[in-house]
Amino acid sequence: MDIDVASDLLKRTLELAFIITSPVLAGVFIIGITIAIFQAATQINEMTLTFVPKLLLALVIMFLLSNWFLIEITDFTREIWLQIPELVR
């Protein structure tokens, strides 16, 4: 396996990681901005007010999209396993 194949494999792995984590990160970002605006408007500075909703939303998104996560990771792993004979040459 030469450097081009390894860099392509690393690039595809990082792309998949970005695609899988982006829904969770986007949801947490949106709720974080919403809570920050609420805190600025009401001058309530409680740390648990920001942490708990973000944690709950991240868990809900991961639960709802877990089937899709598993399908994407399984397809990628299957594709890599099928390419192993070509990568060894």
Cα gap 40→85, rounded to integer Å: 58
Residue 66 CA to residue 23 CA, distance in Å, equals 11
User: Are the beta carbons of 85 and 54 closer than 8 angstroms?
Assistant: no
Residue pLDDT, tens place only, 41-87: 988 888 778 889 999 999 999 999 999 999 999 999 999 999 888 87
Q: What does the CA dihedral 69, 70, 75, 79 come to, rounded to 10 degrees?
A: 100
**43: left (phi > 0), else alpha (psi -120 to 50), else beta?**
left
39 pLDDT above the threshold of 80: yes
pTM over 0.95: no
Residue 3 confidence class, pLDDT cut points 50, 70, 90 = confident
